[in-house]
Amino acid sequence: MDTFSRISAQQAHEIMGSQEVTIVDIRDPDSFAQGHILKAQAVNEENIKVFVEDTNKEIPLICYCYHGNSSQRAAAYFVDQGFKQVYSIDGGWEGWIAIYG
């Protein structure tokens, strides 16, 4: 996979329920603290280098932001860093929370 895939919140939920995944929240720390997808890790400029070095790149990576735009850039970055299977949630946190509250 040389690129990432855009997926819906429902598709992300199915993937999370069927296999081991890494979930990355790229929103600001305050937003993450107010609520995030279960088992998501907050990744930002301060910790992204360590995250990339320490994370298993063979496990699917799902990333999200507020609405699904910034996470596409992040997903492309993670592909460039060697992650094999990368997804960006269309609609981001807002799309997720609208369905899974």
Q: What kind and span of H or E run contains 5?
A: strand 5-7
H runs (alpha helix) in 1-101: 9-18, 29-34, 48-54, 70-80, 92-100
**Structural tokens at position 81:** 């860093």
From 7, 12, 65, 75, active-site residue: 65
Active site residue 65: yes
- Is 2 buried (19+), middle (13-18) or exposed (0-12) by CB count in 10 A? exposed
Residues tagged active-site: 65
